[in-house]
Amino acid sequence: MSVTVKPAEFLLVLFDPARIVAIVEDVARRLDLPDDVMITFDVDEGSPLARTALTSIDPPVIAVEGGALEEPRRPRYLSEEAVAVTAARLLARVADRRDPHFGPAPAEASLTLPQADAWDAYALGRAERLGIEVRQPRWRYRFRMRHGFTDTADRAFDRLWAAEGLAWADIEAASVEALAAREGAGAA
């Protein structure tokens, strides 16, 4: 397995590229990605924003704005937890897309925000069971923001978080179900 961090040396933030490589390699191994996978972790250190994206599947390229990897109370310092969670979320999508059982999913750029958050719930529930520290309440709140603050949305989140071996159709169905309950609650 090969992980490349760009840039090779950080000038604006106090990030250690070798530490990022070690964390991403560990996450990739836990997700059982093949040994021959070549992952690029491309950090825009000049951006204090927190956007992340999987910009390529084969080979995997994760694009990250620097703010997504910072310690919340220590700007410019690396949060190892943020690196692990970002890698787990996005590399799980790579693993899912390589699994024939998973079936076809929309291209990354075509995912709606609710679809992406549903997939994140599924990915991060698995990551937590693999021993990666994930703050589940944060991801539940994010899911609720997209799917509504309803009992149906909470049940959909819980199913996704606890699931193993889902197909894309299962993730999409959970998202659609939660969205429908939100629409129904808004009409009342």
67-80 confidence digits (pLDDT tens): 999 999 998 999 99
Query: CATH 3.30.2010 region(s) of the chain?
Result: 1-98
136-188 confidence digits (pLDDT tens): 999 999 999 999 999 999 999 999 999 999 999 999 999 999 999 988 776 54
Give 158-164's long-range contacts (Cβ < 8 A, gap of 24+): 160/118, 160/121, 160/122, 160/125, 161/121, 161/122, 161/124, 161/125, 161/128, 161/136, 162/125, 163/122, 163/125, 163/126, 164/126
Percent with pLDDT over 70 in the chain: 98
> Which CATH code fits 1-98?
3.30.2010
The pTM assigned to this predicted structure is 0.94
